[in-house]
Structure 1
Amino acid sequence: MYIPRQYIIDENNRRIGVQLDIDTFERIEEVLENHGLMLLMQVAADDESVELEEAKALYRAHQD
């Protein structure tokens, strides 16, 4: 996945930061959220069952 970026440099031309456009940032954010959801689903698959409210609470807790 190509990630367009612009570097922020200091007075010695050392890279100290990176700037992404909002579309790229949102795509990265979505990928990370989906990965976290997949991990939660794998953990839940090992359990016998998870009540709906408990699953919602787990999902909300892992969004931050």
Structure 2
Amino acid sequence: MLELNKSYVIDDNQQPIAVQIPIAEFEKIEEILENYGLAKLMEEVDEEKALSKDEALKYYQSLKEENVAS
């Protein structure tokens, strides 16, 4: 399991309101989530319409770009 070095941000009432993690750990979390999403997308495709790894990566990249543009 991924170990996170987190620091809590607290408000004036000493209540936690946010968490900070090192950027390298954040990037690792992003990579894990993207890989999981890609695997789920590939599972959803019917066998006769299955995408190659390169096709799936290109399609997934286009989805990310659409989400950034909106």
**Is the TM value for this pair above 0.5?**
yes
User: Once the 2 structures are TM-superposed, how far is the Cα of residue 2 of structure 1 from its aligned partner?
Assistant: 1.4
* Distance across 2 between alignment mates of 1:51 and 1:24: 30
More helix by share: 2
Secondary structure of the residue aligned to 1:13 is: coil
Q: For the structure 1 residues 43 and 26, does the alpha-carbon distance in structure 2 shift closer, same or farther, using more than 3 Å as the test? A: same
TM superposition outliers: structure 1 runs of 4+ over 4 Å: none
| Aligned residue-pair number | 60
Contact 2:42 2:51 (C-alpha < 8 Å) held by counterparts: no
Overall identity of the aligned pairs, in %: 43
The CA RMSD measured in Å over matched residues stands at 2.1
What whole-Å deviation, never above 9, does each CA across 1:4-59 have from its counterpart, x for those lacking one? Answer: 11110001110000111110000000000000000011012x2421567x8533x1
TM-score by length of 2: 0.71
Segments of structure 1 that go 5 or more residues without pairing to the other structure are: none
Q: TM-score, normalised by structure 1?
A: 0.76
RCO comparison, higher one (Cα < 8 Å, 6+): 1
